[in-house]
Amino acid sequence: MLLNDLLLDLAGKLDHSRVVDIVQRADHIPLIEKYLLHVQRDNVTNVNEALNALYVKTENYRALRTSIDAYGHFDQIALAQQLETHELMEFRRIAAHLYKLNKRYERSMELSKKDGLWADAMQTASDSTQQELAEGLLNYFVQQHQEECFAACLYTCYELIRPDVVLELAWRHGLMDFAMPFMIQTFREYHDTQIALKAKWAEKEKEALEAAAAAAKAKEEAQGADPSMGMFGANANMLAIAPPQMGGGYGGGVVGGYGMVQPQMGYGGGYGQGY
């Protein structure tokens, strides 16, 4: 009767896995449940498996589900295989949940459909983010004449189901009333997307026009600031290089019109030859 108190006092110095092995060999795990709950926060595999086995044995499915969601260090697939044939539906439901946690979505959905847990099957299809599973479940509801589940699946798996598939199934099997909320929402989203794309495209065109206008204006300003593109146009460069000059009295004159200025020394005569 004092075993739990002893273990709790020594919890900081004990190897929890070894404690579980010793007590398990004596088949007295229920005696140390309080201790196991106290040390489960360390998420030790042996401790988790011992508690989960205890919950299965005592058919405490609520505690088992809480333990599974909070502490994941244990052989989840082995526990799922053990529970999928359990006589209680809640434990089979936990098995489907474990398969979903391990991304075995098809197996999880099979168990849920077998037990008629339609909501669980829909949620698994939605969590899988796989279009094939969602549309396959939708076809399953049509075949099983589950019209309400058909509508609920459209809501739960809305992002995964293609509108043309919904429209065809509804038209072929007389389910237009159940499919109409989905179609209305889809058309509304398409309309909003189209408006947003048009606005975005118009904004881009406006930015392109503004950029082109700014480039043209900058080009004009650059041409106006270039002295070579003034009154005389391109020929102004040639005039600037060799302007006509008159020969001077002291010094040189211009030889042959637009020639090179020939420097002369002395008192040449009068004006040099000009034009």
pLDDT tens digits for range 13-66:
999 999 999 999 998 999 999 999 999 999 999 999 999 999 999 999 999 999
| Angle ∠(107,108,110) on CA atoms, nearest 5 | 65
- pLDDT above 90 covers what percent of the chain? 69
Domain spans in the chain, listed from the N-terminal domain onward: 1-74, 138-210
pLDDT of residue 136: 96
**Beta bridge mates, 254:** 261
Helix (H) or strand (E) holding 131: helix 131-143
pLDDT of residue 270: 44
Is the per-residue pLDDT at 241 higher than 70?
A: no
* SS3 readout for 57-122: HCCCHHHHHHHHHHCCCCCHHHHHHHHCCCCCHHHHHHHHHHHHHCCCHHHHHHHHHHCCCHHHHH
Question: At residue 251, what are phi and psi to the nearest 5 degrees?
Answer: 125, -145
| Average pLDDT of the chain to the nearest whole number | 85
pLDDT of residue 101: 95
Per residue in 154-175, is it b (16+ CB within 10 Å) or e — as a string?
bebbeebbeeeebeebbeeeeb
Is the per-residue pLDDT at 267 higher than 50?
A: no
Is the per-residue pLDDT at 237 higher than 80?
A: no
Higher-confidence position of 241 and 21: 21
Is the per-residue pLDDT at 275 higher than 60?
A: no
pLDDT of residue 240: 46
Digit-coded pLDDT (tens) for 109-132: 999 999 999 999 999 999 999 999
- Whether the model clears a pTM of 0.85, i.e. scores above it, the answer is no
pLDDT of residue 218: 84
Question: At residue 261, what are phi and psi to the nearest 5 degrees?
Answer: -75, 120
Is the per-residue pLDDT at 153 higher than 50?
A: yes
- pLDDT above 70 covers what percent of the chain? 81
As a whole number, mean pLDDT of residues 123-145 equals 96
Using DSSP, state whether 263 is helix, strand or coil.
Answer: coil
Q: 240 near 247, Cβ under 8 Å? A: no
pLDDT band at 79 (very low <50, low <70, confident <90, very high): very high
DSSP string, 147-170: HHHHHHHHHHTTTTS-HHHHHHHH
Digit-coded pLDDT (tens) for 174-227: 999 999 999 999 999 999 999 999 999 988 888 888 888 888 888 888 887 655
As a whole number, mean pLDDT of residues 258-268 equals 44
